[in-house]
Amino acid sequence: MNQKMSKFAHITKVHPCYNEKLHDKIGRIHLPVAPKCNIACRFCKRSLGDESLCEERPGVAHHILKPADVEDYLNDLLKKMDNIKVIGIAGPGDSLFNKETFETLEILQEKFPEMIRCLSTNGLLLPKYAKRLADLGVKTVTTTVNAVDPKIQAQICDWIYYEGKVLKGEEGAKVLIENQIEGVKKAYEYDLAVKINTVLIPEINGEHIVEVAKTFKDYAFVQNIIPLIPMYKMENLRRPTCDEISGVRDNSEEFMTQFRACQQCRADAAGLLHQKNHIEQEKGKNLDIYDLKHFSH
């Protein structure tokens, strides 16, 4: 086991998104407390309310949960699910751009200290908040990095909002990439286990993703290359084929361990990574009713 692996062995033993062997044994709950985002990815369409109910993808949640409701919400779910070990914040916007994320983490630290706290971010604010996350007992941070070349990143994200200014195109892309690199290094120094999410968009970053793996190989624990779900300003692009996904993962694996079991979960997902079916079977009725009940407040 190399140094990086042993540093995070305590996490990989229990986190289903850092260890594929656990994905059907240990569950996670995403708390949809963070609606706003500070960058504009061309593939990202966030949806809330009833229109989200039939969608199984990132960026959707039936309701935004208020931090004040988190404790009751979790107590209720934890009574029904005995396999949960991870509580995460995965948007539906950017976790670090919403003060509710930090309020929620404080509640988790005080009321649910035994749960692994996890969040996902585009990384723009990670240099600023890495220490605060470590102080709040967060153990795992997913950072989405789709390119490390501003020319490529500018084709994926239209603008960023940073320190009071909107920075467009390559100018914004450069700042985003610099902050992602600095933020992931800081997170590593504060003992946070980082997973790099990378959206595979065949025509844009297919050949380039291996550079992302190379750039982060000493600081991130695992990379999760996920296929583009063509939508919003990328609705006319195609989804990568299975062979393309495997090929890009195989190339990147030379530099970073690959996670291959991602379900591209909703921002309000709860249970095992495949839990939707389990709940349907257990309850004998469809999950939407379950969602409505638990996401209403």
Ligand X SMILES: C[S@@+](CC[C@H](N)C(=O)[O-])C[C@H]1O[C@@H](n2cnc3c(N)ncnc32)[C@H](O)[C@@H]1O
The answer to whether 196 touches 256, Cβ cutoff 8 Å, is yes
Whose Cβ is closer to ligand SF4: residue 274's or residue 285's? 274
CA atoms within 13 A on the CB side of 156: 26
Please select the residue that binds ligand X; options are 29, 44, 87, 147, rule is CB under 6 A. Answer: 44
Question: How many residues of this chain bind ligand X (CB under 6 A)?
Answer: 19
In angstroms, the Cα distances linking 77 to 16, 30, 33, 83, 283 are 18, 11, 16, 11, 14
**To 10 degrees, what angle do helices 99-111 and 67-80 make?**
50
Please select the residue that binds ligand SF4; options are 14, 81, 136, 262, rule is CB under 6 A. Answer: 262
Please select the residue that binds ligand SF4; options are 60, 192, 273, 279, rule is CB under 6 A. Answer: 273
For the CB of residue 228, give the shortest distance to ligand X in the complex, in Å: 5
183 scored as a contact of ligand SF4 (CB under 6 A): no
Q: SS3 string of 227-250? A: ECCCCHHHCCCCCCCHHHHHHHHH
For the CB of residue 286, give the shortest distance to ligand X in the complex, in Å: 24
Site for ligand SF4 in 107-166 (CB under 6 A): 122
What is the spatial distance between Cα 221 and Cα 192, in angstroms, rounded to a whole number?
10
Q: What, of ligand SF4, ligand X, none, does residue 273 touch, CB below 5 to 8 Å by kind?
A: ligand SF4
125 scored as a contact of ligand X (CB under 6 A): no
For the CB of residue 262, give the shortest distance to ligand SF4 in the complex, in Å: 3
Where do contacts with ligand X occur on this chain (CB under 6 A)?
37, 43-44, 58-59, 90-92, 94, 120-122, 144, 197, 199, 226, 228-229, 231
